[in-house]
Amino acid sequence: MTKPVTGAPYRADHVGSLLRPDNVKAARKAYYGDKSISAQELKGEEDKAIIDAVRMQEEVGLKCVTDGEIRRSFWHYDFMGMLTGLDLDERPPEQGVQFAGVKLRAVSPTITSKLDFPDDHPMLEHFKYLATVTKVQPKISIPGPSCCHFRTDPKDITVPEYKDLDVLFADLASTYAKAVKAFYAAGCRYLQMDDIFFAYLCDPKHREAKKALGQDPDWLIDRYAWMMHEAIKDRPADMKIGMHLCRGNFRSTHAAEGAYDLAADAIFNKTGIDIYFMEYDTERAGSLEPLRLLPKGDKRVLPGFITTKTPQLEKLDDIKRKFEEASRFCDIGQLGIAPQCGFASTEEGNALTFDDQRRKLELVVQTAEAIWGGVDK
């Protein structure tokens, strides 16, 4: 293995997922639906699409790239279903997670045995392939440990010991600690965990839903932070950990709203995270005031002032004004810029074109150059 590329954090970055080209969508349908092509043929189409996605990211000036999550159907479920002890069950369409005006495809995680991160988890190979096709730093985004709890109905947890959430959370933390170690061994020096449910637990309706299950949302925020901290605390010094927070992203819609205030202290001071990708493209995210809780030092926040939900391109001057406001609450030296979310949290993708996507990423780079003098300053 060649020497891993390091350099994160960067002033310009993105969350991870990218729009899937039509040939990949067709190949996935042919393999998973029609059973008309082989796994190797599907991989070949995905490999080519990843090379194109990497080249695009490099061409716009990013110093860190992902594989666009092109091999995945969902940003989270694919990774989760590859864990030992967690299965994915298809359910009737009406049981899909509700977004604004549309339901997500109905897939439900079920915990059937003791959780673990397998040595042959397929996304280790996904990362290794990415590292071979880029000249800059490769990054992989995976769902954070809270996802395995938040998105699993209590009735679908069949392991008796896991009815005690402290036991479940301890095993999730251990499972993810093993994942961090495995990705590092694979050459990963920049791992991102999308732990969006901190933001969901700031939404009154999601808080009430957890209360209806007998779970205190504020206790969950604290325990979710504990899980993340335990999972990453032993990472080597040259490994950076990022975390994305948003309020849902499916076909340009959302599933939650509410300011970060209730979770900000836990997010910034209890997780141990290095780099925060925070949705800030609409009023749903609330004010920038929670940034005052960011401790002084090396941690970095990348506010998502550039949306991935609509094609309209933001104006650089407007973004600069938002950073002026953000700098009232934290040091501008601890900030960077990224889009508010991925462009395709599921394989369906958001309501943008490939050209729109590229222009958004170009604007991310232009913003970093205008405010800090470069992507890696």
Q: Is residue 26 part of a domain?
A: no
Q: Is residue 43 part of a domain?
A: no
Per-residue pLDDT of the chain (377 residues; tens, 9 = 90+): 578 999 999 999 999 999 999 999 999 999 988 999 999 999 999 999 999 999 999 999 999 999 999 999 998 999 999 999 999 987 554 554 444 444 445 688 999 999 999 999 999 999 999 999 999 999 999 999 999 999 999 999 999 999 999 999 999 999 999 999 999 999 999 999 999 999 999 999 999 999 999 999 999 999 999 999 999 999 999 999 999 998 866 655 655 788 999 999 999 999 999 999 999 998 888 999 999 999 999 999 999 999 999 999 999 999 999 999 999 999 999 999 999 999 999 999 899 999 999 999 999 999 999 999 999 98
Q: Is residue 37 part of a domain?
A: no
CB 177 within 8 A of CB 231: yes
| Domain CATH for 356 | 3.20.20.210
Joined tokens for residue 262: 């209730």
Q: Is residue 60 part of a domain?
A: no
- What pTM was computed for the model? 0.94
Q: Is residue 133 part of a domain?
A: yes
Number of domains in the chain: 1
Residue-number span of the structural domain to which 224 is assigned: 65-372
- Outline where DSSP puts E strands in the chain: 64-65, 84-90, 98-99, 102-103, 107-116, 137-138, 140-143, 190-194, 240-245, 275-279, 300-304
Burial of 139 (0-12, 13-18, 19+ CB in 10 A): buried
First CA to last CA across the chain, in angstroms? 28
Joined tokens for residue 163: 């009815």
Gap between the Cα atoms of 273 and 251, Å rounded: 28
Gap between the Cα atoms of 189 and 242, Å rounded: 11
Place of tokens 């897939």: 107
